[in-house]
C-alpha cells in the first residue's frame, strides 16, 4: 500500500511445538482489495470469535480474497484506507464505482439506503474503528461528526459512510465481530 504513503506491517504470534511463544508472521498484509482510486481493504486476520485458540496454528488467517464482513460467529481485523473523492468524477459514476466495490467484496446487500452518500452501508457486526491517519467525516442517516487520529468509533450495525476531509488519504484499523 505504498502508493498511499502508508507502510503496513502485521506481527502475528503463536507457539512452537515445545509450547514456546514465537513470531509466526512479520510482514505486510496478506490480502488486499483495492477500490480503484478510492481506497481499499487490507486484511490482517479473520477467525472465530469464540472458542479456544490454537496458538500452534501457523496458517495465515489474513490470506484470501477480502470480504467486507467476518464469517458467521467470526472476527475480522483489518486496515482500511479511503482516498479523498476525486473532484472530476460525476456523482452517478461515483455511485456506480462504489456499488461495484461493495458487490466485489461480498457486500452487495449491505447498502439499504445510499441517498445520503454512495458509500453508505450497513453491516451486521459490532465494530471498533480507530482512525490512525487523516481527518474523516462519519455520516449517519441522521447526523454526522468529524473524527481525527486516535478517535474510536463503536459502530453497532448502523447505516454509515466515511468521507475524507482534505486532500490526504485516511487510514483506519478495524475490528469487526459478527453478532448474528
Tell me the average pLDDT across 7-26.
89
- Interatomic CA distance for residues 171 and 133, integer angstroms: 5
* Average model confidence (pLDDT) across the chain: 86
The answer to whether 144 and 173 have CB atoms below 8 angstroms apart is: no
Q: What is the model's pLDDT at position 158?
A: 93
Tell me the average pLDDT across 10-24.
91
* Residue 82 CB coordination number (10 Å): 21
Range of lowest pLDDT (13-27, 95-109, 148-162): 95-109
Q: Where are the domains of the chain?
A: 29-178
| pLDDT tens-digit readout, 45-55 | 999 888 888 89
CATH of 29-178, one of 2.160.10.10, 2.60.120.650, 2.60.40.10, 2.60.120.10: 2.60.120.10
Could you give the maximum distance between any two Cα atoms of the chain, in Å? 59
The length of the chain in residues reads 180
Look up residue 5 and give its three cell numbers.
504513503
pLDDT surpasses 80 at 136: yes
pLDDT surpasses 90 at 59: no
| pLDDT tens-digit readout, 140-156 | 999 999 999 999 999 99
Least Cα distance to 152 among 166, 167, 173 occurs for 173
The answer to whether 3 and 32 have CB atoms below 8 angstroms apart is: no
pLDDT surpasses 80 at 38: no
Least Cα distance to 154 among 136, 123, 128 occurs for 128
Amino acid at each position: 500500500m505504498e502508493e498511499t504513503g502508508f507502510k503496513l506491517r502485521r506481527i502475528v504470534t503463536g507457539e512452537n511445538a515445545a509450547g514456546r511463544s514465537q513470531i509466526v508472521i512479520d510482514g505486510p498484509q496478506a490480502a488486499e482489495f483495492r477500490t480503484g482510486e478510492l481506497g481499499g481493504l487490507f486484511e490482517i486476520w479473520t477467525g472465530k470469535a469464540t472458542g479456544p485458540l490454537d496458538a500452534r496454528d501457523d496458517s495465515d488467517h489474513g490470506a484470501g480474497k477480502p470480504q467486507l464482513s467476518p464469517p458467521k460467529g467470526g472476527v475480522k481485523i483489518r486496515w482500511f484506507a479511503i482516498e479523498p473523492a476525486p473532484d472530476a468524477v460525476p456523482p452517478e459514476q461515483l455511485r456506480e464505482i462504489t456499488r461495484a466495490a461493495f458487490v466485489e467484496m461480498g457486500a452487495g446487500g449491505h447498502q439499504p439506503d445510499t441517498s445520503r452518500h454512495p458509500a453508505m452501508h450497513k453491516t451486521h457486526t459490532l465494530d471498533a474503528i480507530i482512525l490512525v491517519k487523516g481527518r474523516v467525516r462519519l455520516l449517519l442517516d441522521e447526523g454526522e461528526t468529524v473524527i481525527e487520529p486516535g478517535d474510536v468509533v463503536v459502530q453497532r450495525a448502523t447505516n454509515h459512510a466515511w468521507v475524507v476531509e482534505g486532500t490526504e488519504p485516511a487510514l483506519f484499523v478495524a475490528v469487526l465481530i459478527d453478532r448474528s
